[in-house]
Structure 1
Amino acid sequence: MVGSGLPSLPKPRPGWLFTFTTLALLVVFGTAAAWQWRRRNRQGRRRLKRVGTVSSLFIYPVKSCRGVAVERAEVTELGLRNGDMSDRCWLVMKEDGHVVTARQEPRLVLISITNESGCLTLSAPEMKDLHIPAQLSTKNPVQNCRLFGLDVQGRDCGEEAAQWITAFLKSESYRLVHFESNMVPRNAKDVMKPFRSTDKIAYPDCSPVMVLSEASLEELNSRLEKKVQIRNFRPNILVTGCGPYEEDTWNEIKIGGVEMKGTMACPRCIFTTVDPDTGVMDRKEPLETLKSYRMCDPSEQHIYKSHPLFGWYFGIDKIGSLQVGDPVYKTI
């Protein structure tokens, strides 16, 4: 103040404010970075325990038809893929859009699939091979399919495919459709509540991947007079080197570059009673034997109802590739 006789104070320099603000920001960001490092470090300390080895990989391109054993597969958010073959991305449907499986037409299990030169080839007893382009013309109409009460799209594979399927099954008129990558998948959670909102499916019943162990099959067969095959149960990943039903306890697993989350047991139905060699449905075994010892806890009957449990469903946490011979690890 002029004339006050007091010495004037120096004005604050703008650089001081800048330095203070910078230091404050460094403290904030440093704290956040330290928290992230500790979080990642805690995750990194999660131990992996080897629980088995992949003995077989199966893709089922056409729902309910014969599976294709592959040595290597890519695991997408919708399940296994090898070349043009993606798991359960083709299906048979009625003219009204309702899906047809081997529950209604057991002879579907006799149709085998190969993939070569951009085509899927369907083969069946007493039928000429059917060749279907893996990439259909956009002129082919898109159909709405009804699967477990939910609508999902599929591009029609054409008249030749429809006539071939109809002629082989010798029933009503059927059509073959293909789920394409630009179509909207179903939410697994809308079919079975234990799944997560991130778990997506095309035409599988409710899960992108199903895992089963050889030991579980062997234990079941020890109880059966007539042995059954792994083909009765249609897993995607078959594991050896573990005990019976150990797959039930694998909450999180890592195989190759793939990480998966165990979600729920696989509830079994009369499909398991279809002989994969003859296409004849027994309607009794192995289902009756499974019901004698593989039922759910009463607290889970709202999920599984009266279905016995065999195999385990997994959701995809990290996509990648895997192959036969890969070790299977569970996170502990």
Structure 2
Amino acid sequence: MSNVDISHGGILPNLIIIFLLSALFLVLKTLTTLKTSNNPKGCRRLGLPPGQSNLDDEFDPKYSQGVPSDQDDHGRPSWRVKALFSYPLKSCGAVELQVSNVVPTGLEFDRQFVFAEYNNDEWNIRTLRNAGFNRLALIHPEIWVPDPSAPDYDADLPEIKSQGVMLISYPRMLPAGWSSLPIKVGMALKFLKSQQTFQVPLLPPADSKFPLVPVKIWKDKVLAHDYGRLLPASLHAYLGSDTSKNTLTLLRASAPHSRQIFRNAPRKEDLGFQPNTAFADAYPIHLLSISSHRDVAARCAYAIPRLSIRRFRANVIVQGPSAFEEDHWKRLAIGGTEIHASCRTVRCRLPNVDPLSGDRHKAEPDRTLKSYRRIDDGDRTNACLGMQLVPAKEKFVLRVGDSVEVLETGEHQYIKMLAPGEKVEGV
């Protein structure tokens, strides 16, 4: 008779081993399938290195006080650019820069892309203002531009032909149940990133099929390139979109169809060109003073102990002036380039969304701002913080550390956005 051990003591360990080996095989197979792609070929990433920021000390009490504009700060101007930010994908994460080209629409690459949703028979842009879209805060773009010195550079690469690519990263969505186990293991072992990533061309190649479609941005309607076919199903899932209904897309601004700006902006007769922008709300560049922000943050501390200036999504953050001194700037020079301060920035509730978590505070900082910053006769309903800028030159370079010099001060009165054909007395 055979001496095979059929007791639980013999079978159970073998079953456990078989289960563990099967699970390991499944994990390895899944990790191979989900392996993160390499960086774009022939390109370099724009911006500061990961983990580095010129705002690391933004909560230092010294920024609560202004300093004289003619004071020397260890060989640097006391009034200067502290930080620069571009937001390539509207309402999503920022790219922090040490230096940036400025183009007619603002900082290069700023707000050139936007998500849009199809409803009421038209595409409408979607931002952090919109209910259900606070998850946009956790989507992070990177700009990669051609680098001829890169070892894998080749002029025939699609990344080069499109003058670079934008990488878009977003939190990895886990499937329900046991099927998420391999992914969790991979993330725990650092084989998998917690973010999923895909890329889109910075410019649509001439022979590509990214059609121009009309999109409504506030009261304007412009033509933009439809990149919707590049959106992965996992991004649709992350944003709660049903892929079968084709109601979510990604749009890329078209330079020939940029939005000309009038309202408070200087005119072509004064500049030699009419200011324009892509998907920025209204004007090419948004400036914010860190001392002004510290004043607001101190008043909000009861609800948000560390209110970051990042919530206000400015392009240029300056240090030196006292709180709200910028309210009356009309013209200034940054790094020697003349820039018009066209109007104050009228605030919406978008800064209520925490850019680190995507959580939306039910009241702050909007409530505090409205309690003491409804200062513009053009809009007494909403608060103001920051200034909207229009450069007197179409192209130049901005750098962190550039001097800030006020050339002219005066009064401001905000002119609201008008729909086509809409008239306002005196405008």
Deviation at residue 330 of structure 1 after TM alignment:
1.4
Deviation at residue 217 of structure 1 after TM alignment:
1.1
Within 2, Cα distance between the matches of 1:76 and 1:290? 32
Deviation at residue 270 of structure 1 after TM alignment:
1.2
Deviation at residue 307 of structure 1 after TM alignment:
0.8
Q: CA contact under 8 A between 1:156 and 1:178: conserved in structure 2? A: yes
Deviation at residue 162 of structure 1 after TM alignment:
6.3
Within 1, Cα distance between the matches of 2:405 and 2:129? 34
Matched, 1:327 2:403: yes
Within 2, Cα distance between the matches of 1:88 and 1:196? 21
Match of 1:311, SS state, is strand
Q: 1:314 corresponds to which residue? A: 389
Counterpart amino acid of residue 338 in structure 2? E
Match of 1:251, SS state, is strand
Counterpart amino acid of residue 132 in structure 1? V
Q: 2:113 corresponds to which residue? A: 90
Matched, 1:52 2:79: yes
- Kindly report which structure 2 residues correspond to 1:249-328, keeping only aligned pairs within 5 A, or say none: 249-297=328-376, 300=377, 303-318=378-393, 319-328=395-404
- Kindly report which structure 2 residues correspond to 1:1-332, keeping only aligned pairs within 5 A, or say none: 52-81=79-108, 86-95=109-118, 96-104=122-130, 105-117=133-145, 118-126=164-172, 127-137=195-205, 138-161=208-231, 163-171=233-241, 173-181=247-255, 183-189=256-262, 193-197=263-267, 198-224=274-300, 225=302, 226=304, 227-297=306-376, 300=377, 303-318=378-393, 319-332=395-408
Match of 1:98, SS state, is strand
Bigger proportion of residues as strand: 1
Deviation at residue 141 of structure 1 after TM alignment:
1.1
Which structure 2 residue ranges, 5 or more long, are not aligned? 1-68, 71-76, 146-163, 173-194, 268-273, 409-427
Within 1, Cα distance between the matches of 2:171 and 2:294? 30
Deviation at residue 284 of structure 1 after TM alignment:
0.7
Deviation at residue 113 of structure 1 after TM alignment:
1.1
Within 2, Cα distance between the matches of 1:304 and 1:165? 37
Where has structure 1 moved over 6 Å in runs of 4 or more?
A: 48-51
Within 2, Cα distance between the matches of 1:293 and 1:67? 28
Q: 1:23 corresponds to which residue? A: none
Per-residue CA deviations over 1:191-222 (Å, capped at 9, x if unaligned) read xx323342211111111011111101111111
Counterpart amino acid of residue 384 in structure 2? L
Within 1, Cα distance between the matches of 2:264 and 2:135? 32
Within 1, Cα distance between the matches of 2:225 and 2:249? 10
Within 2, Cα distance between the matches of 1:246 and 1:51? 15
Paired residues, number:
273
The change in CA–CA distance for 1:258 and 1:77 in structure 2 (over 3 A counts) is: farther
TM-score w.r.t. the length of structure 2 is 0.61
TM-score w.r.t. the length of structure 1 is 0.78
Q: CA contact under 8 A between 2:228 and 2:248: conserved in structure 1? A: no
Which structure has the larger Rg over C-alpha atoms?
1
Counterpart amino acid of residue 313 in structure 1? Q
Per-residue CA deviations over 1:102-132 (Å, capped at 9, x if unaligned) read 1111111111111225111011111520111
Per-residue CA deviations over 1:9-34 (Å, capped at 9, x if unaligned) read xxxxxxxxxxxxxxxxxxxxxxxxxx
Name the % identity: 29
Q: CA contact under 8 A between 1:211 and 1:247: conserved in structure 2? A: no
Counterpart amino acid of residue 170 in structure 2? A
Deviation at residue 163 of structure 1 after TM alignment:
3.9
Counterpart amino acid of residue 207 in structure 1? Y
Counterpart amino acid of residue 344 in structure 2? A
Match of 2:350, SS state, is helix
Within 1, Cα distance between the matches of 2:224 and 2:353? 26
Within 2, Cα distance between the matches of 1:228 and 1:281? 13
Match of 2:299, SS state, is coil
Deviation at residue 257 of structure 1 after TM alignment:
4.9
Deviation at residue 168 of structure 1 after TM alignment:
1.7
Match of 1:88, SS state, is coil
Within 2, Cα distance between the matches of 1:74 and 1:250? 23
Match of 1:204, SS state, is coil
Q: Pairwise CA RMSD of aligned residues?
A: 1.9
